[in-house]
Amino acid sequence: MFTPGADAVAADNQRASRTIFAVAALLESLGANPYRVRAYRRAAVGVLRLPVAAGRFVDGEGQLALPWLGPRLRRKLGELLRRGTMQFYEDLLDELPKPVRELLAVPGVGPVTAARLIQHLDIQSVADLAKAAGESRLQLLRGIGAVREQQVGAAAEAMLAERHAA
Residue 138 CA to residue 131 CA, distance in Å, equals: 10
Angle at 27 between CA 86 and CA 105, to 5 degrees: 60
* pTM score of the predicted model: 0.75
What is the residue-averaged pLDDT of the chain? Answer: 89
Is residue 89 domain-shared with residue 113, that is, in the same domain?
no
Is residue 89 domain-shared with residue 102, that is, in the same domain?
no
Q: Which domain holds residue 28?
A: 6-93
Closest CA to 101 of 109, 93, 113, 89: 93
Flag whether pLDDT at 19 surpasses 60: yes
**What is the rounded average pLDDT of the residues 140-165?**
93
Summarised one tens digit per residue, pLDDT across range 34-60 is 999 999 999 999 999 999 999 999 999
Q: What percent of the chain has pLDDT over 70?
A: 93
Single out the residue in 64, 93, 122 at which a domain terminates: 93
How many other C-beta atoms lie within 10 A of the C-beta of residue 138?
Answer: 23
For residue 1, being part of any structural domain is answered with no
Flag whether pLDDT at 3 surpasses 70: no
Is residue 42 domain-shared with residue 112, that is, in the same domain?
no
Summarised one tens digit per residue, pLDDT across range 77-117 is 999 999 988 999 999 989 889 999 999 989 889 888 999 99
Helix axes 71-83, 34-49, angle to 10 degrees: 50
For the stretch 120-124, contacts whose Cβ atoms lie closer than 8 Å and that sit 24 or more positions apart, written own/partner, are 123/99, 124/99
| CATH number for the domain that contains residue 101 | 1.10.150.20
Is residue 77 domain-shared with residue 110, that is, in the same domain?
no
Tell me, what DSSP letter sits at residue 58?
B
Listed range (10-24, 35-49, 106-120, 148-162) with the worst mean pLDDT: 10-24
What per-residue confidence (pLDDT) applies to 86? 93
Single out the residue in 73, 93, 113 at which a domain terminates: 93
